[in-house]
Amino acid sequence: MQCIYYFIVAELNNNVKYLLRGNLRLLVLNIISKNSIHGYALFKELEKIYKWRPSCGTLYPVLSEFEENGIILGSETVECGRCKKIYTITEKGRTHLKDMIKDFQGSLQLLRLNERF
């Protein structure tokens, strides 16, 4: 019985990881919308809130894409002798975040409708 429990917990954890990974853009933009933040602090915040930390190869391309599309603004600064890029959401980014949240809520609604199977 205990083996089944651990399997179920492990499977739930995998499903949560897939859900988080699939919505990384939404999670990242939501965090940036609350406070300007640098990349490493963003990793720590994702880990603190969601108990999950994406790889550098997953997070930084999202930040680059957002910056290229004017959704966030990256400004370089030096702290304690180290160069850091601070990310801030733009007005376009706030609009984009609202749209992403609406889309996500719509997806959740579809899942609820399909619960009956």
Q: Give the 3-state DSSP-derived string for the chain, with helices as H, strands as E and coil as C.
A: CHHHHHHHHHHHHHHHHHHHHHCHHHHHHHHHHHCCEEHHHHHHHHHHHHCCCCCHHHHHHHHHHHHHCCCEEEEEEEECCEEEEEEEECHHHHHHHHHHHHHHHHHHHHHHHCCCC
What is the overall mean pLDDT for the chain? 82
Taking only the tens place, the pLDDT of each residue in 1-26 is 343 333 333 444 555 566 666 789 99
Q: Is the pLDDT of residue 34 over 90?
A: yes
Mean pLDDT to the nearest integer, 67-90: 94
pTM, full prediction = 0.76
Mean pLDDT to the nearest integer, 37-44: 94
